Amino acid sequence: MIKRVAFVAGGSGLVGMQVLHQLFKDPEYTFVISFGRRELAIKHEKLLQVVVDFEKLHLTNLIEKIRHRNMGGNYHPLIEWLEEKSAEIHGFCTLGTTIKKAGSKETFYQIDHDYVVDFAQWAYHQGASKFLYVSSIGANPQSGIFYSRVKGETEDDLKLIAFHYLAIFQPSVLLGNRRESRLGEEVGSLVMRGVTALGLLKKYKPIYDHQVAKAMLTYAKRSSVKMIETVSNRDMHEL
């Protein structure tokens, strides 16, 4: 029996929701633990939802939280695996927002950098051996574009954590059914679809949420070598 557990942060988002659904269908993952500020309106026999304050994540006692939810004993194996550190834990992080939604650059940085890095460090201390993070095409800590610079700084800081395997995914404009409208991304999607239809700038071709999620699971399961890997938009399209 494979003792494989998935930690997911950002499950309410476009890619995060697809990651959850694909993890539910994947027989190699026995338990899926979703971390968020509130519970999601979904149910599944594999799913355990843990409500956390990302600003105080380091204070979270995961095993105690699971014990409180273990009324029927369904999570007893999970508690045992975590206590014995006998499970293979994969962290999936799709946390992210926009400056408009965040309300300020400071809050955007907190969510897209601090929460991501803090979750990665916390997951590592819980025993996670692999970590998979959705960044963005053009991420660069030296970029003059604030969004790209934050993504680049986040990538660099994740590389300092001693995961056995770290995969950074850099998708272009994301396609899918969002709960909220993002006009800039919708316009960008239309423009990039037109450009790529002409055979230009193929590396910027818009990509669907489920394609990114599929890539994350594929890379998580197939890589056993200790390494840091950046997965481009083109790589994800070619899967």
Does 147 participate in catalysis according to the annotation? Answer: yes
Per-residue pLDDT at 139: 97
**CA gap 231, 40 in Å, rounded:** 28
Angle at 133 between CA 175 and CA 61, to 5 degrees: 125
**CA gap 15, 18 in Å, rounded:** 5
CATH number of 4-178+208-238: 3.40.50.720
Among 147, 208, 214, 221, which one carries the catalytic annotation?
147
Does 133 participate in catalysis according to the annotation? Answer: no
Among 133, 151, 165, 219, which one carries the catalytic annotation?
151
**CA gap 234, 239 in Å, rounded:** 9
pLDDT in tens, the chain (239 residues): 789 999 999 999 999 999 999 999 999 999 999 999 999 999 999 999 999 999 999 999 999 999 998 888 889 999 999 999 999 999 999 999 999 999 999 999 999 999 999 999 999 999 999 999 999 999 999 999 999 999 999 999 999 999 999 999 999 999 988 655 555 555 554 555 555 555 556 688 999 999 999 999 999 998 788 999 999 999 999 98
Q: Is 10 left (phi over 0), alpha (psi -120 to 50) or beta?
A: left
Q: DSSP characters for 41-84? A: S---TTEEEEE--GGGGGG--HHHHHHHT-TTSTTHHHHHHHHH
pTM for this entry: 0.91
Closest CA to 207 of 172, 170, 169: 172
